[in-house]
């Protein structure tokens, strides 16, 4: 059996492959080929096939992370779609719960909805908050609206009716009526995506799904056709925003679940790494060319967000919680009102930093790394690319001269400012979870994570930094270890909770989740199934609920309430055990594990001197002459070294600041520890 992880980013498409009962993982990367991403997929995949040489009939799981859906929303390149909603709520997409992002900006504007107001059709019907039909569905209105929408050019329709999370009858009937009139139109019902109370957010998820569906359908279809032509028994899975996987068929039907999948696969891999290394608090840090994503893994569990956003639209399904920071290796340094600033503008992949020699002339963070001695101009990405140090220095002069600084001092200033940009986002992010940097291990990956992560750790007092073996293809590696995962929800807000309601609802949800899992993979393909029940609860009168993991469907109200008080105490530092508690929603998350590689013991390396050179490093205003440069391939498990130093490897560079020492762990990770 083969398992292949594929992760498409804006610059590179990364691959990781693993064969059952082997420890070795093969990785490679090829340039991405936007907008025809399938081309890059094929190029890299051919390279993988050449290396792994699949046997005839060897089962192959291909796990694919894609940002096609995300890009469709951000670039607004989807087709015309319509929304059918309850009469009285035509402006549901326009009003967006009224909120504006920057109320201090006199010229602030609201996000333009994905569905134009003339493509929103009001349907006479009404279900009340108890799920009773107050006004019957006007079936002719649905037929008329369908004809009008199709005539206007809509190729998909989202349906979001009031209180459908409690009584979906009208939404389901609307789909039948639409198909009666227009059988080929794509229909997404809000209840099929996420039946949660809150009409705006539910309308948005039905719209988002309808909006990205045909592009994702076409793309996945293209990949499937290609896979069928190359391998005999391949099965394609797609990465989800919750860090799990789903079958390709499911992704073609409900692509809304892929909208935030980009960074989620990496976090799933960190969680998996955490399981191997030891349960603790980790901060995942994925730093690429344009931005840095951070995400907290608390007690070994990735944090879940029910209030994420994609392109300014809310996503209410549970997704891996990510904080994006506008600081990457390509972030540009500039001067504003006499002070040095770095980013948010980025030179991106093209033209890139000045040292890439692709026409970029602006000073970037990567240029500052090179000028400060962190990067090796002749051994970047395993020597596949050479860097022009003089181009970096020339670019840096553009900010150094007006600031009256030397080129080196300006480089260090650029790096320090970039670090402080990250600090400004990271500390408040951790504070939201009540976590102190001192309790964390930073796990760094992405092209620049292993350089800048240690600097960030040094600055905010994170005592440990973990660098996995192949940091720059870590998200593709996530495709080798992630599990099928699905969430289902039932809103119980406003219902009187009883023992029966609680246990029956949870049992129903578990059944629903198991039906989903069976549709994704055959039972014999799974090596384990886990079911978790979650109750979103709050004190009566509160407007914010918190998730409580309930031990089983039969745990009962008292146990759930007791766990709620504990969790409230843990999160907010207080609880009121006598206070009345409300149940807002119940959820079940199911996970089905496919065969996956274990984090293998590192291969011993014999004899060779790991020190391959010496360079001067400039770190935080201090000059360190003759620092040792190591080759990671020549470092055996158990090897240790003292900062300041640099460890070079094929796909990344690790900076060990002077206040840190590094060791290679038994699993082949590099662990940086703050010196006592």
Partner 1 sequence: MDPVRTTIMNNRFTAIVEEAAAILYRTAHTTFVKLVQDFQCALATVDGDIFAYPNQSGVAVFIGLPLQAFISKLDKESLKPGDCFIMNDPFSTEGIVTHLMDVTIIRPIFYDGKLIAFAWAFVHASDIGGSVPGSISPSFKEVFQEGLRVRPVKLYEAGKLNTFVRDMFFDNSRIPEEIWGDFQAMLSALHSLDRRLAELCERYDVCNVLAAMQDVLELSEIKARSVIAAIPDGRFAFSDYLEGFDQGQYSYINTVMTVDGEEIYLDFTGTDPQIPTAYNIVSGPRTHPYIVQGLISYILTIEPDAPRNAGLLRVIKTCSPKGTLINANFPAAGGSRVASGTRVYDTLMGCLNQALPGGLVAAGSGMVGIIVVTARDPLSGRNRVSVINPLCGGSGARNGIDGVDGVDVRFGALRTVPAEIIEVETVMLVREYGLLQDSRSPGKYTGGAALVMELENTGIEAIMTVRGMNRFHFRPWGVKGGLPGRLGEVILNPHLSDKASIGKIDVLTMKRGDVVRITTPSGGGFGNPLERDVREVSSDIRRGYLTRESASRDFGIVFDSNGDIAEDATALKRASIQPVLPEFNLGWERVGYDKIWPADIRARLAVKVLAEEFGIQNHLMARVRERLTKRGSCVTEGDLDQVLTQELEALAGPAM
11 vs 292, beta carbon nearer partner 1: 292
Q: How far is the CB of 554 from partner 1 (least distance, A)?
A: 25
Nearest Cα residue to 398 out of 332, 348, 346 = 332
Cβ atoms 510, 533 nearer than 8 A: yes
Tokens representing residue 282 in the block: 């980790």
Distances, alpha carbon 184 to alpha carbons 179, 212, 498, 570, in Å: 7, 16, 43, 51
Angle at 97 between CA 426 and CA 94, to 5 degrees: 115
386 vs 495, beta carbon nearer partner 1: 495
197 vs 645, beta carbon nearer partner 1: 197
Residues in a beta bridge with 532: 589
385 vs 424, beta carbon nearer partner 1: 424
Q: How far apart are CA 492 and CA 197, in angstroms?
A: 9
Q: How far is the CB of 309 from partner 1 (least distance, A)?
A: 14
Q: How far is the CB of 416 from partner 1 (least distance, A)?
A: 6
Q: How far is the CB of 545 from partner 1 (least distance, A)?
A: 11
271 vs 419, beta carbon nearer partner 1: 419
Q: How far is the CB of 332 from partner 1 (least distance, A)?
A: 14
431 vs 554, beta carbon nearer partner 1: 431
Cβ atoms 623, 616 nearer than 8 A: yes
For residue 106, is the peptide bond before it cis, meaning its omega torsion is within 30 degrees of 0?
no
323 vs 651, beta carbon nearer partner 1: 323
Tokens representing residue 465 in the block: 């930094």
- Residue ranges in 231-289 assigned as alpha helix (H): 248-253, 261-277
For residue 71, is the peptide bond before it cis, meaning its omega torsion is within 30 degrees of 0?
no
Q: How far is the CB of 538 from partner 1 (least distance, A)?
A: 10
Q: How far apart are CA 135 and CA 126, in angstroms?
A: 5
Q: How far apart are CA 232 and CA 220, in angstroms?
A: 17
335 vs 385, beta carbon nearer partner 1: 335
Q: How far is the CB of 82 from partner 1 (least distance, A)?
A: 13
Radius of gyration of the chain (CA): 26
571 vs 593, beta carbon nearer partner 1: 571
Q: How far is the CB of 337 from partner 1 (least distance, A)?
A: 5
Detail the DSSP E strand segments found in 359-452: 440-445
Q: How far is the CB of 568 from partner 1 (least distance, A)?
A: 11
Which helix (H) or strand (E) segment is 576 a member of?
none
Nearest Cα residue to 130 out of 435, 495, 615 = 495
Nearest Cα residue to 288 out of 242, 325, 260 = 325
Backbone torsions φ then ψ of 34, nearest 5 degrees: -65, 145
């Amino acid at each position: 059996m083969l398992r292949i992880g594929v992760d498409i980013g804006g610059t590179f498409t990364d691959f990781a492959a693993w064969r059952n009962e082997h420890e070795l993982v093969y990785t490679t990367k090829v340039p991405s080929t936007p907008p025809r991403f399938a081309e890059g997929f094929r190029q890299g995949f051919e390279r993988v096939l050449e290396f792994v040489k699949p046997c005839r009939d060897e089962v192959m799981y291909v796990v694919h992370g894609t940002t096609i859906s995300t890009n469709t929303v951000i670039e607004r390149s989807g087709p015309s779609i319509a929304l059918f909603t309850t009469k009285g709520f035509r402006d549901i997409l326009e009003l967006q719960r009224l909120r504006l992002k920057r109320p201090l900006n006199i010229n602030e504007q609201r996000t333009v909805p994905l569905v134009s107001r003339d493509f929103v059709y009001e349907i006479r019907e009404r279900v009340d908050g108890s799920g009773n039909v107050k006004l019957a569905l006007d079936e002719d209105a649905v037929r008329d609206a369908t004809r009008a929408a199709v005539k206007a050019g809509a190729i998909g329709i989202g349906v979001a009716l009031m209180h459908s999370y409690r009584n979906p009858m009208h939404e389901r009937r609307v789909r039948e009526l639409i198909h009666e009139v227009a059988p080929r139109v794509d229909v997404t019902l809000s209840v099929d995506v996420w039946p949660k109370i809150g009409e705006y957010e539910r309308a948005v998820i039905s719209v988002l799904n309808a909006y990205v569906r045909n592009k994702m359908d076409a793309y996945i279809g293209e990949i499937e056709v290609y896979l069928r032509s190359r391998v005999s028994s391949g099965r394609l899975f797609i990465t989800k925003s919750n860090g799990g996987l789903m079958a390709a068929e499911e992704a073609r039907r409900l692509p809304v679940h892929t909208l935030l999948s980009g960074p989620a696969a990496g976090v799933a891999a960190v969680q998996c790494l955490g399981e191997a290394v030891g349960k603790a608090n980790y901060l995942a840090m994925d730093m690429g060319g344009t931005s840095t994503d951070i995400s907290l893994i608390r007690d070994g569990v990735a944090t879940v967000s029910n209030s994420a956003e994609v392109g300014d639209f809310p996503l209410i399904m549970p997704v891996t919680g990510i904080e994006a920071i506008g600081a990457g290796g390509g972030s540009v340094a500039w001067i504003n009102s006499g002070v040095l600033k770095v980013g948010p503008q980025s030179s991106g992949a093209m033209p890139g930093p000045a040292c890439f020699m692709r026409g970029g002339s602006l000073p970037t963070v990567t240029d500052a790394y090179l000028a400060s001695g962190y990067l090796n101009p002749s051994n970047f990405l395993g020597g596949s690319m050479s860097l022009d140090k003089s181009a970096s220095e020339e670019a840096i002069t553009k900010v150094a001269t007006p600031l009256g600084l030397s080129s080196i001092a300006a480089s260090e200033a650029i790096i320090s400012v970039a670090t402080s940009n990250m600090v400004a986002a990271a500390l408040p992010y951790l504070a939201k979870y009540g976590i102190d940097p001192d309790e964390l291990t930073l796990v760094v990956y992405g092209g620049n994570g292993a350089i800048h992560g240690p600097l960030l750790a040094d600055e905010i007092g994170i005592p440990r930094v973990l660098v996995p073996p192949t940091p720059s293809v870590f998200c593709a590696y996530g495709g080798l270890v992630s599990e099928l995962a699905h969430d289902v929800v039932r809103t119980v807000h406003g219902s009187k909770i009883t023992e029966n309601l609680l246990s029956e609802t949870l049992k129903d949800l578990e059944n629903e989740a198991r039906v989903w899992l069976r549709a994704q993979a055959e039972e014999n393909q799974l090596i384990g199934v886990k079911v978790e029940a979650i109750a979103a609860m709050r004190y009566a009168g509160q407007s914010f609920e918190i998730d409580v993991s309930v031990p089983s469907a039969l745990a009962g109200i008292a146990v759930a309430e007791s766990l709620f008080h504990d969790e409230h105490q843990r999160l907010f530092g207080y609880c009121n055990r006598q206070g009345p508690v409300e149940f807002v929603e119940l959820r079940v998350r199911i996970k089905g594990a496919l065969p996956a590689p274990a984090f293998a013991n590192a291969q011993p390396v014999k004899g060779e001197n790991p020190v391959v050179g010496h360079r001067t490093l400039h770190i935080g205003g201090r000059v360190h002459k003759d620092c040792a440069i190591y080759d990671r391939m020549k470092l055996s498990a158990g090897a240790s070294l003292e900062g300041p130093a640099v460890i070079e490897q094929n796909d990344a560079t690790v900076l060990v600041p002077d206040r840190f020492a590094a060791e290679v762990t038994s699993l082949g990770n590099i662990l940086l520890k703050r010196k006592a």
